[in-house]
Structures are given as C-alpha cells and as structure tokens.
Structure 1
Amino acid sequence: MRKRSSLALVVFILLALTGTSLYGQGQSQNQPAGSARSRADETLEWWNQIGNKLIAMAKDFPEDKYDFKVQKDERTFAENLLHVAAVDYDLIRRVSESNMGPDFGKDKHNPSREVYKTKTDVVKLIEQALADGAAVIKQQGDAGLDKTMPFAWETGKHIVHNSYIWITAIEHSTEHFGQLVVYYRANNLVPPESRRDQTQQAQQPSAPRVVELKASDGTLLKASYFAAAKPGPGVLLLHQSNRTRKAWDNLAGQLAAAGINTLTLDMRGFGESGTPYTKLTDAEKAKVSPCGPATLTQRFNTWFRSQASSATLSAWEEPGGSASSIPLK
C-alpha cells in the first residue's frame, strides 16, 4: 500500500512541476496526431514566420547601417525591407480586391527613402504589411485560397489560385531574408535568427553525471544528475520496486531541458547501489539512520545548490526501501 501511494506522490509532483499530463504525453507519443489544420491556418503560419523574421531584423539592425549595401547596384538594407513590404501590399491588394495599404507612387514596389526616412518608419511599414496580410488570410479562409485570378510573375501570365499568390509572397520575402543575412555578415553581425539558435543550443542540458550518495552506514547509492542549463528548481525521482533509476532517463532528460534539475537514484540493492536493507545484519541495520521528508528535503537542497560531482550526505533510508519523491526548492 505504501509503494502505491509513493508512486502516486511521484506522479503528483511531476504534474505540478511540469504542468503537463502523463496521459497527454502518452497520447502524443503513441497515437497519431489529430486532423490537419485548415489550409488557411497553415498559410498564415508561414506568412507570419517569415514576416516576423524580417521584423526582428528591421528592429535589430543598427540604424546607422540602414543604408548599407554590399554592391553599388543593390538595394540598401532599408530598401530591401521597403521593397518586401511594397510587394506584399501589391499581392494583398490583388487577393483582397481592395486598395489596402499606402500609395507608394509610380514605383509601387520600391517606396522612397525620402518618405520612410527613419528606422521607426521602416519597421512600422513592414509590421503593418504583415498584420494586414494576416488579416486577409484569416478573413478569407480556405475559400479565399481557392479563388482564381489572372496573375503575371516570373513564370508568366496565367490563371492561378490565390494560394499560389500567397506562396509567391512568402517565397519572395524568404529571398530577401537571405539577402539581409549577407548584409549582417558583411558587417560582422549575427542575425537574430542565428543568435536564437545559438542561445537554444547553449541552453541544452548536458549529459547526465553519475554521482554517489553515501548512506549513514557507508553504503554507496548510485545516482544520475541531469543538470538544467542554468540554476533552477530540482526534483528527486525514485524508482518502483521492479525498476532502476534508468527507468527515469527519458523523463529526467525532458525535465532538465525544461529547466528542472533532476536526480534519479538507485535504491539499495537495485541497479548499481549497494546491499539492500533487508539483507543487512541487525548490527548493520542499527547503523542506518532513517530520516523523514523534511530532513531529506533539506539534505538534497544542499546537494542541488552545491551541484558537486559527488556527495557525502546520508541518503533517506526506511526499512523496506519505500519510494517517494520530494520537490526541491
């Protein structure tokens, strides 16, 4: 009865720490995904994705370099962004059959820097183009993607679905995103998207470290420490009576990736740990000092704070080796 209640405690603590359901995790891993989203939702995702990347660049790139260009016959950094916004509006107007957006004059695909003089002006325009395009996609839905009209682009004039026009706009934005990456690198700068990837890699947890915990009678208990990328909360996971600490490896890695430092422990007589309590002599049992949850919490708090490669604290022992899990602050 105690083992069953202890396992329930483990599950309860994990749900509280991760905010997720083990039932939901099982579904996502073992069952096929649900039905696909609408085509409008999928189109909107890609529209927003490339648009937000360009906005991040527009906000990040130094304003004193806005008129930089690699070669004299190219557009400047600012002109590239203005061009993307203008082409977006041209295609948005076609699909929406409206006059949405600003009037860019005779050269409708190349707004003048005399009008959009500052970094703030450029950012505001590309943000508005992204928002207006997203609004049209959401408003028209799948039915709007299925509408057809004459369209002339690099492939020549022909009848196309509106979905083709949205793909054209997204592809065009992607081309200029790549060009602006070159402008970043030419100035010895790292684009926001690359910095984000580097940050994510830096935050990945390291491989688990095998540690030893010394019980009060000197028995060594093997444990694995899954360290998060930075200081944070911790949790101790103890296995069931027919498992070892290895049973927690996958979940412990997920917890560490989520920022929760995790320690998994082989109970006495399991895995790589020493002699089980039940096989000790009476004299040996007398050397074991059981401790309650409060003391255990205190000891493991100290251990997590130290993040030492080994520890000499006494592990929590109870006759029978009952399992439990204590959240560590």
Structure 2
Amino acid sequence: MLGRMKKLLFAAILLVIPSTMTAQSAPQAPPTYEQVVARTWKTLHNKILDMAKDFPEDKFGWKPHPDSRSMEQEFRHVTIGLEMTTAQLKGEKFDFVAREKADDGKPHTRASVVAEMEAAIAASYPLVESQPKPLLVGWLDHQGEHYGKMVDGYRVNGLVPPVSRPKK
C-alpha cells in the first residue's frame, strides 16, 4: 500500500510541475498604447524633476545664448507645460501668457522651482494614468525638446546629467 501511495504522489507531482512551469512562462500581454504614453510621461518628467533638484543653483541663470531661456526658465517652462496639460485633460482653459508672467515675481531658487514642479507632477500623473489622450504625444515631443536643452545645459557647464551617471 505504501509503495502504491508513493507512485500516486510521484504521478501527481509530475502532473503539477509542468502546469506551474507553463504558467510561469506564459508571455505577458504587451502594454497598451495608453500604458506606454503614461509610463513615458512619468519617466520623462521624473528625469526633469531629478535635474531640477540636482542642477547647481548658482548656475540657474545660465543661458546658452542671450536670446534663450535660462536653466531656471526651462524648468519653469516644463512646469507650465505640466499645468497646461492638466488643464486640457480636465477640459479647462489655461492662460499661458498670464501664467508665464506670474513666474517673473517668484523666487529664483531651487526650492521654489522644485516645489512648483512637484505640485504640477502630482496633479498631472493621476489624469495621465486615468485618461491618456492623443494630445499627450505632442506634449511628450515638446517636453522632450526641453529635456534635451537641459541635458545640453549640463554638458556645456561641464556637468553630467543625473540619468547619465553610473548607477550606485
């Protein structure tokens, strides 16, 4: 009787092992368009936020050309883009010119820039995750251009952007 139970147990194990191996190797469904857009949105803005927290504050006024935005203005411009996108996703109007003028009276500090960007991100991410719309693709392109400018700002100033540093 004991020998028969061992054989049945062995047979049961042989039946269970392949099914668990199949379950583990089943391919995962590819992400949806909406998931890719939301993930890319968050990744891009997290990288820009890391730069705002990291770029030397004494170089916030640096411009690649007198007619260009300073690094501080680039960070603030990205924040305005986040706020404008949030308004669009909510179906609200957004006065870009008034919002840009409002930045003139703000403190020229990292703390101010980072706090505003963090607030804009906190408002943006839930909407982007719950209702990513095609308009975000254009915004990703636009915000990506500013990210590229900021990377140049790092490199021209002899700095390495956070994303390019060796991982710890």
Would the TM-score normalized by the shorter structure come out above 0.5?
A: yes
AA aligned to 2:146 is H
- Stretches of structure 1 that go unaligned for 5 or more consecutive residues are 1-22, 146-162, 204-329
Q: 1:104–1:111: 8 Å Cα contact kept in structure 2? A: no
Rounded to whole Å, the distance in 2 between the matches of 1:184 and 1:132 is 28
Where in structure 2 are the equivalents of 1:161-310 lying within 5 Å? 163-195=133-165, 199-200=166-167
**Displacement after TM superposition at 1:32 (Å):** 5.6
Q: Which residue of 2 aligns with 1:256?
A: none
Bigger fraction of residues in helix: 2
- Look up the match of 1:124: 115
* Cα shift at 1:107: 4.1
Bigger strand fraction:
1
Call closer, same or farther: CA 1:50–1:105 in 2, change over 3 Å: closer
- In 2, Cα distance between equivalents of 1:165 and 1:96: 13
Say which one has the larger Rg. 1
2-structure distance, mates of 1:77, 1:135: 27
Counterpart amino acid of residue 91 in structure 1: T
Q: Which residue of 1 aligns with 2:85?
A: 91
Matched residue, 2:52: 58
Unaligned regions of 5+ residues in structure 2, if any? 1-19
Corresponding position of 1:10? none
Distance 2:103 2:97 in 1: 10
Instruction: Count the aligned residue pairs.
Output: 149
What are the Cα deviations for residues 134-164 of structure 1, in whole angstroms up to 9, with x where unaligned? Answer: 1112333xxxx4xxxxxxxxxxxxxxxxx32
- Contact residue 84 and residue 96 of structure 2 kept, 8 A: no
- Find the aligned partners of 2:124 and 2:79 in 1 and give their Cα distance: 10
Q: Give the match's secondary structure for 1:122.
A: helix
Aligned-residue RMSD, C-alpha: 2.6
SS of alignment partner, residue 97 of structure 2: coil
Matched, 1:76 2:46: no
Q: SS where residue 103 of structure 2 aligns?
A: coil
CA distance in 2, matches of 1:60, 1:113: 22
Q: Normalising by structure 1, report the TM-score.
A: 0.41
Q: Which residue of 1 aligns with 2:12?
A: none
Distance in 2 between residues matched to 1:111 and 1:42, nearest whole Å = 33
Q: Judging changes above 3 Å, is the alpha-carbon distance between structure 1 residues 88 and 79 closer, same or farther for their aligned structure 2 residues?
A: same
